[in-house]
Amino acid sequence: MSKYVTPPNLPSAFEGVVDPNGGFLCVSSRWRPDPEADDPEWPGHKLSMSSYIPVLPREACLCGSGRRYGDCCQPKRFWYPICPNPGMEGYSLTAPQSATFGDVDVAAIRRRLMADPRFRCTGDSRASAFWIYHGDPVVEDQHGLLYFGDLELKDDLSLLVTAMSDLRMQTLLAVLQEVAGELLDEPRRSRDSNLVIDKRTGKMRTVEGAKPRSRRRRKR
């Protein structure tokens, strides 16, 4: 029997199933049409889902470290959730973060994002416009279309990019550079608090996100 307790704040569906020392809590986001809307495809519904993935000590750790689970995340006191990588190519530890581009050409950025099939517009008004990034190829299951980040064009002439992991943000910024790199300056980046679970007590707590490191340019 595990010495760890099932976290009390998890949905009732996980009761008796979750062992924080025997696997990972995986969080994911999906989009699906709204059958009750005049146009089911727009804006649709955005859903957040959680699942439990058991892992044996000898198996590869799902945090993406490349080490065995028994030598990596299993012995740690705190239980960090994971999220799928773009294209469902493995998983990463969650690290909620954002990047803000200021003083952008809103009309030009909007046209570029609307034309790119890797983005789906889920809201468009005079004040703001929203997109989700689902990547290519599209990953879809019975619950909907998986997406791996959000973009918002605001009326203050800024573009806000949000992602749940370092790899997701890295991917999103690379795609934006490809789509509209000449229209964007260096973004202002920040990390949000991350929710973890104490394996010994089952209590949830927040961990402040570390400030992303900026690359220093060498002086010539």
Q: What is the CATH number of the domain that holds 154?
A: 3.30.310
Predicted pLDDT of residue 39: 87
The predicted structure's pLDDT at residue 80: 93
CB 27 within 8 A of CB 83: yes
DSSP 8-class letter at 64: S
> Does 4 reside within a domain?
no
Q: Identify whether residues 101 and 113 lie together within a single domain.
A: yes
Residue count of the chain:
220
Q: Are 186 and 198 in a shared domain? A: no
Report the SS3 class of residue 96.
coil
Q: Are residues 105 and 72 in the same domain?
A: no
> Domains in the chain: how many in total?
2
Would 215 be classed as within a structural domain? no
Q: What is the pLDDT of residue 106?
A: 94
Same domain (yes/no): 58, 102: no
Based on the fold, state whether residues 136 and 200 are members of the same structural domain: no
Claim to verify: residue 159 and residue 197 sit in the same structural domain: no
Q: Is 33 buried (19+), middle (13-18) or exposed (0-12) by CB count in 10 A?
A: middle
Task: Output the DSSP codes for 123-176.
Answer: EE-SSEEEEEE--SS--EETTEEEE--EEEEETTS-EEEEESSHHHHHHHHHHH
Quote the domain boundaries for residue 203.
12-95+192-207
- 124/72 same-domain check: no
The answer to whether 5 and 201 are in contact (CB under 8 A) is: yes
Specify the pLDDT at position 216: 41
Q: Name residue 56's amino acid.
A: L
Radius of gyration of the chain measured on its C-alpha atoms: 19
Task: Give residue 128's pLDDT.
Answer: 92
Same domain for 126 and 87 = no
State the pLDDT at residue 209. Answer: 59
Query: pLDDT digit of tens for each residue in the chain (220 aa)?
Result: 233 444 445 555 555 568 899 999 999 999 999 988 888 888 899 999 999 999 999 999 999 999 999 999 999 999 999 999 998 899 999 999 999 999 999 999 999 999 999 999 999 988 899 999 999 889 999 999 999 999 999 999 999 999 999 999 999 999 999 999 999 999 999 999 998 999 888 888 898 754 444 334 444 3
Q: Are residues 83 and 128 in the same domain?
A: no
pLDDT the model gives residue 65? 93
Asked if 70 and 37 sit in the same domain, the reply is yes
Nearest to 133 by CA among 105, 157, 104, 168: 168
* The pLDDT of residue 219: 40
Name every residue whose Cβ is closer than 8 Å to that of residue 38 and which is 6 or more positions away in sequence.
none
- Same domain? For 144 and 75 the reply is no
